[in-house]
Structure 1
Amino acid sequence: MQELSPEYLAEIARQMSAISAFLGGFAAAFLGTLLTQSTPRRVVSWAVASAAVASVGFIITVIAMTKLVVVLHPQAPANVSKSGVLGARATGLLCFMLGIYALMASIGLSGWLRSRRMGIITSVLAGAGALLITLTLAEL
């Protein structure tokens, strides 16, 4: 991974933590809504699973990025270990990406609960969103 200044890395961690908290709440609410579906179709199980993966991924991201902010703070106590920075950074980034793609998957699958036409629409939109996210992040 590229070496970044502690201030820059802490700001990235704060932003990712805020975004993950918001999206994690959305994914958990979406998960709760999907769990109320009584349809015994397989697509419900896949949508529930992907929403659960998204929720968990975003929660882990919030914890990992909070650790980064705490460890990188300029006034952190001397006994705060700086050794976990790379691990927290990698965990946070991987879980953030997992959460993003799992959320896109659950959005794409959700339309299939209603009809074939709606399933095609939501799948195309979620696929386009995932592609745009990938292209946007590839430029960093």
Structure 2
Amino acid sequence: MDELFSTIGLVSAIIGGFAFTFVGALLAADSKSPAFNWVFGLAMFAASSLMAAALGSVLTSLAAKQGFEINLQWMHQKISLLFLAGILTLIFSISMCGWLRSRQLGYVSLSIGFCAIMMLLWVLIPYLMFG
């Protein structure tokens, strides 16, 4: 089980690092669009959720290796929810970036993002634990 937590921690940290980079790029952007606040807020939430999932996974993996008495199923549920929330909000914030340019591009990017979210859920749901 500690391998699972280590792997989720690694993936969360890598994608969370990308999300923080995306937030940094947004800070440098000069956009007057009303959608900017939503894109930025969702990206920040995604980065924070993924970093929390990464830290929780690593600490749970270490605790499991050391033989500490922790409820691994409960931790897996919480980390799965953080990971899924982070991934979904990151994809959603990236898909909303089209709205920063134009309404037409916003519809296109949001449609592609919706398809990406559906594919992601189709692949990830069997491996995540919700309760």
**TM-score of the two chains, using structure 2 as the length reference:** 0.87
Q: Secondary structure at the match of 2:107?
A: helix
Alignment partners' CA distance in 2, 1:93 and 1:36: 32
**For residue 6 of structure 1, what is the aligned residue in structure 2?**
none
4+ runs of 1 displaced by more than 6 Å?
none
Contact 1:57 1:98 in 2 (8 A): yes
Q: In structure 1, which of residues 112, 130, 135 is the aligned counterpart of residue 117 of structure 2?
A: 130
Segments of 5+ residues of structure 2 without an aligned counterpart are none
Q: CA deviation at 1:53?
A: 0.6
Alignment partners' CA distance in 2, 1:39 and 1:107: 15
Q: CA deviation at 1:126?
A: 1.1
**For residue 27 of structure 1, what is the aligned residue in structure 2?**
19
Query: What are the Cα deviations for residues 93-137 of structure 1, in whole angstroms up to 9, with x where unaligned?
Result: 111011011101111111111222322222111111110111112
Higher relative contact order (CA 8 A, sep 6+): 2
**TM-score of the two chains, using structure 1 as the length reference:** 0.82
Which structure's CA Rg is the greater one?
A: 1
Contact 1:111 1:123 in 2 (8 A): yes
Q: In structure 1, which of residues 103, 110, 119 is the aligned counterpart of residue 90 of structure 2?
A: 103
Q: CA deviation at 1:16?
A: 1.0
Give aligned-pair identity as a percent: 23
Give the 5 Å matches for 1:40-119.
Answer: 40-73=32-65, 76=66, 81-119=68-106
**For residue 108 of structure 2, what is the aligned residue in structure 1?**
121
Q: Secondary structure at the match of 2:29?
A: coil
Amino acid at match of 1:64: G
**For residue 36 of structure 1, what is the aligned residue in structure 2?**
28
Give the paired residue count.
Answer: 127
Alignment partners' CA distance in 1, 2:108 and 2:3: 36
CA RMSD of aligned residues (A): 1.6
Greater helix fraction, Structure 1 or Structure 2:
2
Q: Secondary structure at the match of 1:39?
A: coil
Amino acid at match of 1:136: V
